[in-house]
Amino acid sequence: MNRLAFKMHLNEGQKDTYIKRHTEIWPELQLLLKESGISEYSIFLDKETNTLFAFQKVSGDGGSQDLANNPIVRKWWGYMADIMKVNPDSSPVSVPLEEVSYLE
């Protein structure tokens, strides 16, 4: 099992919308993530900087950021693009983080 972490940026004032959209995550997206080997996916918000910190446990080498060609993921990105910092293709600007310590 691999652990992946990355950060993204939420636009100012969009916390409630972000939470609502994730509370109502589409069932087809949830299924896709699970079928892709993602067994845990947590997202935390640093309210001072609007930085989102995401953590995933995955079986295999890739995480959610490697599903860019899936139409469900592309549709989700479009849905979220108005409340986050995104790339020209509507994917979230995402910075991978290096794991430097782990205690099991």
For the chain, the domains span: 2-96
pLDDT tens, the chain, 104 aa long: 889 999 999 999 999 999 999 999 999 999 999 988 988 999 999 999 999 999 999 897 666 666 888 999 999 999 999 999 999 999 999 999 999 999 98
Residue-wise DSSP of 37-79: TEEEEEEEEETTTTEEEEEEEESSS--GGG-TT-HHHHHHHHH
CA dist., res. 101 & res. 38, Å (int): 21
CB atoms near residue 58 (< 10 Å): 20
Q: Does domain 2-96 have CATH number 3.50.50.60?
A: no
Nearest in space to 102 (alpha carbons), one of 61, 57, 67, 63: 57
Tell me the pTM. Answer: 0.90
Choosing from 2, 3, 19, 22, the catalytic residue is 22
Whether 22 is catalytic: yes
